[in-house]
Amino acid sequence: MTKLSVNLNKIALLRNSRGRDFPNVVDFAEKFISRGVHGITVHPRQDERHITRQDVRDLSRLLSCDGEVEFNIEGYPSEDFLQLVEEVKPKQCTLVPDSPEQLTSDHGWDLSQDGEYLATICERLNGQGIRTAIFLDPSLEQVERVKATHAHRIELYTETLAAAYGTPEFDSVLAKFKAVATRAQELGIEVNAGHDLDLQNLPHFLTIPDIKEVSIGHVLMIECIEQGLDSVVEQYLDICRQSA
């Protein structure tokens, strides 16, 4: 069964827009956990535009008390980011090639250029018992290079799949993702996925076998506003239960 990890960045963004601790990020983590989600994801950025370093520490304290719920911290591996990860020791750290100027993550790593650098980061985190994942475009050329980085997993960047949903190109795009996921698994690399997955496209994506985890935030929060938190979480969990 694929695990569902909820990204709380948008909760933090709402809070920061008003200058007080409402909505509270830890409270919302507890709401999602009580409804059965398998993980919590955060992406702290250098400017703390949404998730702050203190949020990471607060969530770490919450999740350390619940060994069933995984904590996934994603972000660019700057030294201050790595020190924060090493301090709280999440179950997983997903390395993302985003600059401080980017609005959101919009591409995977180019391992022909960054592979050696990422190998040093993965070895550093792996040595502390932290599972490492690399944010990757659906590229067979790139996935062939992952093994040399010592990363345990890749997270497939699924924006192109979401953009193709409902168009004649969708089947061919999905087939490309399947080919990359299959090749990663053949190489002994586990596969996560995230970015713009939603209640409509996720069932199609999870026809790809053995996807370990999907991380969903922005769209899920909008769906919760439209349909209610209980209904949305249960729909996602049902999709995950039926995964290939």
Extract the annotated binding site for 1-deoxy-D-xylulose 5-phosphate.
45, 50, 104
Q: Which pLDDT value is given to residue 107?
A: 80
pLDDT in the model for residue 65: 66
Helix axis angle for 53-64 and 25-34, nearest 10°, is 30
Q: Which helix (H) or strand (E) holds 92?
A: strand 92-95
Residue 99 is predicted with a pLDDT of 64
195 is catalytic: yes
Q: Is residue 44 a contact partner of residue 51, using CB atoms and an 8 Å limit? A: yes
Q: Which residues contact 176 (CB under 8 A, 6 or more apart)?
A: 138
Residue 8: its pLDDT value, please? 98
Q: Token pair of 133, please?
A: 């994942």
Q: Is 43 a catalytic residue?
A: yes
Domain count, the chain: 1
Residue 66: CATH number of its domain: 3.20.20.70
Q: Pick the catalytic residue from 38, 150, 152, 195.
A: 195
For residues 91 and 46, what is the distance between their CA atoms, to the nearest angstrom? 21
Q: Residues 112-165: pLDDT tens digits?
A: 999 999 999 999 999 999 999 999 999 999 999 999 999 999 999 999 999 999
Q: Point out the catalytic residue in the list 43, 70, 152, 155.
A: 43
Q: What is the DSSP letter of 148?
A: G
Going by the annotation, the residues of the binding site are 7, 18, 45, 50, 104, 196, 217-218
Two structure tokens written together for 230? 């209980």
CA–CA distance from 3 to each of 26, 39, 94, 228 (Å)?
20, 7, 15, 21
167: domain range? 3-241
> What pTM was computed for the model?
0.95
> In which residue ranges of the chain is pLDDT below 50?
none
How many CB atoms sit inside 10 A of residue 244's CB? Answer: 12
Q: Is 154 left (phi over 0), alpha (psi -120 to 50) or beta?
A: beta
Catalytic residue among 70, 74, 213, 223: 74
Which runs of consecutive H residues, i.e. helices, occur in the chain?
A: 9-16, 25-34, 53-64, 79-88, 111-126, 140-143, 159-164, 170-186, 202-205, 218-227, 229-241
End-to-end distance of the chain based on CA atoms, in angstroms?
7
Q: What values do phi and psi take at 48, rounded to 5?
A: 50, 40
For the annotated binding site for 3-amino-2-oxopropyl phosphate, the residues are 7, 18, 196, 217-218
